């Protein structure tokens, strides 16, 4: 194995595509002094399952309790920084909202945007992973959650 590959350690992230009345739930967040738009998304934590992580991130970043309904896809992306991300994207239904919820650090606000508004904001998307998952969702790509298996021991 080449020496440069010895410490390869991609970040594993989850994201939720949440749609209500034709609008997508996004978060506006501050990243490196820039305001960007992202799905409710974040890193998988130790000992956590992918579905649990997706629901947790949605709640922490938006105050919305969601029900994860489908697996949209997995995405591999290498950022300009050289960091590699593996994202698992899920469709989720918005169940209930806690308007008093304290949003995660860095989250400025939540916004509901339709696809036209979202495309107009393309330059502000945190990464190409945001639009990739939304386009796949709009294209009908939804797989059963049974494809996500956690294998113990």
pLDDT in tens, 33-50: 899 999 999 999 999 999
pTM of this structure: 0.93
State the pLDDT at residue 6.
63
**pLDDT classification of 32: cutoffs 50, 70, 90:** confident
pLDDT tens string 61-74: 999 999 999 999 99
Evaluate if residue 1 carries a pLDDT over 70. Answer: no
State the pLDDT at residue 37.
98
Could you give the CA distance from residue 90 to residue 109 in angstroms, rounded to a whole number? 21
Could you give the CA distance from residue 28 to residue 118 in angstroms, rounded to a whole number? 12
The single residue listed with the structure tokens 């300009």 is 80
**Beta strand 64-78 pairing with 23-31:** unpaired
Two tokens, residue 136:
């796949």
What three-state secondary structure class fits 132? helix
| Average pLDDT of every residue of the chain | 94
For 66-117, the three-class secondary structure string (H helix, E strand, C coil) is EEEEEEEEEEEEECCCCCEEEEEEEEEEEEEECCCCCCCCCEEEEEEECHHH
pLDDT tens string 74-89: 999 999 989 999 999 9
State the pLDDT at residue 137.
98
Residue 27 has what DSSP assignment?
A: E
Could you give the CA distance from residue 8 to residue 20 in angstroms, rounded to a whole number? 38
Q: Which domains does the chain have, with CATH numbers?
A: 12-147 (3.90.79.10)
Evaluate if residue 3 carries a pLDDT over 70. Answer: no
**Beta strand 84-97 pairing with 11-20:** parallel
Residue 33 has what DSSP assignment?
A: T
């Amino acid at each position: 194995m080449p020496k440069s590959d010895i410490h390869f350690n991609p970040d594993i992230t989850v994201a939720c595509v949440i749609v209500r009345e034709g609008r997508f739930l996004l978060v506006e967040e501050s990243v490196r002094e820039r305001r960007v738009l992202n799905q409710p998304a974040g890193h998988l934590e130790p000992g956590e399952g992918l579905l649990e992580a997706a629901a947790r991130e949605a709640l922490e970043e938006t105050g919305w309790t969601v029900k994860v309904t489908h697996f949209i896809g997995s995405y591999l992306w290498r950022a300009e920084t050289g960091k590699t991300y593996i994202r698992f994207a899920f469709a989720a239904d918005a169940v209930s909202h806690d308007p008093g919820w304290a949003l995660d650090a860095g989250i400025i606000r939540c916004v509901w945007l339709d696809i036209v508004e979202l495309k107009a904001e393309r330059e502000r998307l945190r990464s190409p992973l945001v639009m990739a998952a939304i386009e796949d969702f709009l294209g009908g790509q939804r797989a059963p959650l049974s494809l996500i298996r956690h294998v113990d021991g």
